[in-house]
Amino acid sequence: MRAQVQALLPNNEFVVMLYGREEQDGQVLQMKLPRSAHLGETFNLIFLSRAPKPTFGLVLGSQAVAPQLSETGRFISTLLQQPLPLPSVSRSMQSDVAPLLPAPPREGAPGQHTQLAQGLMQAISSSGLFYEFHLMQWVAGKRSLASLLLEPQGRLSENLPQAPAIASPPASPGGELRLSAHPHQDYLNPLHRDTQTLLRQQLDVLESGHLQWRGEIWPGQTIEWDTVREKKDDPERGRAAQSAVWKTSVHLTLPNLGSVNAVLKLGESGVEVRLAATESSAAILRAGIGHLVAGLNSAGIGLSSMGIEANEKVEPV
């Protein structure tokens, strides 16, 4: 990254403007530099560590120091440079997830709403995105082996044909997780080919903070769901203080209402709701606001703002 000296301070310290790759919106930092540095001088830095405080290395001349990556780092770098592999026809990785509800929810049946919420939570939990965390829970005795075998990575285990119907204590002798070796695997690429796409998705979630899911909530009814955890500065508590806001977007094409977009932002003050639908459907949604408010109140969530937009061409957010 490029740095430019902005001011000279006592004790051999300088104020520098640090630029990233885009050369925009530089960040001002105070750091020690060689005494020969002068106002306006530019030079290259290498980021070394974040804790206990940001540390940079000065690149002398035009020869940059090549970064030394660990074996795991080199493996991840190689994986990210490869195109997304096509999924194989392996039975263990085929999508066989049933709809979350057997039929569309009926009016006056609040239990189905709870069933739908639990189904969405289970679909995300068993998607394989959090498999390593679930492994840690299993080792700690907080998760059963049977639940691990429901995830895509677990379906590659030799335990699958003998999967217990009832969850047994993870620390028991029967709670041993056995992963089979496959002839196509090697030491240079130990990753099973059926998990490469999933691992790329895991890395993408870590980098972007976005969690996406697409599936059927009842037979024939598909939902596109996107969730992200946003952070915004709180000026009343200082720049460093940030409050978390969860933003979730849902896109549905319903039999009677047609295409509908819903964007919800959940923060400390409650939830903001923004809906978009066709003109006729928007009128129906406005008439049902009372039911939405009552449902949120029953869940202990306050409605901070509400908006319904009429748009004849509703596209996924």
pLDDT value of residue 83: 65
Q: CB–CB of 267/230 below 8 Å?
A: no
Structural domain includes residue 156: yes
- Which of 126, 112, 105, 121 has its CA nearest to residue 248? 121
pLDDT value of residue 91: 35
Do 218 and 293 fall within a single domain?
A: yes
Q: Give the E-state strand segments of 140-220 in sequence order.
A: 210-218
| CA gap 300, 313 in Å, rounded | 34
Structural domain includes residue 273: yes
pLDDT value of residue 230: 83
The angle formed by the CA atoms of residues 123, 128 and 133, to the nearest 5 degrees, is 110
| CA gap 126, 134 in Å, rounded | 10
15, 44, 59 — which closes off a domain? Answer: 59
Give the pLDDT confidence of 200-222 residue by residue, as tens digits.
Answer: 888 888 878 888 888 899 999 99
Do 248 and 277 fall within a single domain?
A: yes
As for how many domains the chain has, the answer is: 3
Structural domain includes residue 93: no
Mean pLDDT by 10 residues, the chain (317 residues): 82 81 71 77 78 74 56 75 51 57 79 85 90 93 91 78 44 52 51 79 83 90 90 56 80 91 92 93 92 88 92 65
pLDDT value of residue 229: 85
Do 214 and 305 fall within a single domain?
A: yes
Do 221 and 301 fall within a single domain?
A: yes
Structural domain includes residue 219: yes
Sign of CA dihedral 132, 133, 134, 137: positive
Do 219 and 306 fall within a single domain?
A: yes
Do 213 and 296 fall within a single domain?
A: yes
Structural domain includes residue 258: yes
CATH number (domain holding residue 290): 3.30.750
Do 120 and 152 fall within a single domain?
A: yes
Range of the domain at 260: 209-232+242-310
Structural domain includes residue 64: no
| CA gap 46, 66 in Å, rounded | 10
Do 223 and 288 fall within a single domain?
A: yes
| End-to-end CA gap in the chain | 34
Structural domain includes residue 55: yes
The angle formed by the CA atoms of residues 198, 153 and 133, to the nearest 5 degrees, is 85
pLDDT value of residue 89: 36
| Residue in the block written with tokens 């020690």 | 32
Do 172 and 216 fall within a single domain?
A: no
Structural domain includes residue 48: yes
pLDDT value of residue 11: 75
Do 177 and 249 fall within a single domain?
A: no
Do 149 and 222 fall within a single domain?
A: no
- Which of 118, 110, 107, 101 has its CA nearest to residue 288? 107
Using a cut of 0.85, tell me whether the model's pTM lies above it: no
Q: Helix or strand or coil: residue 192?
A: coil
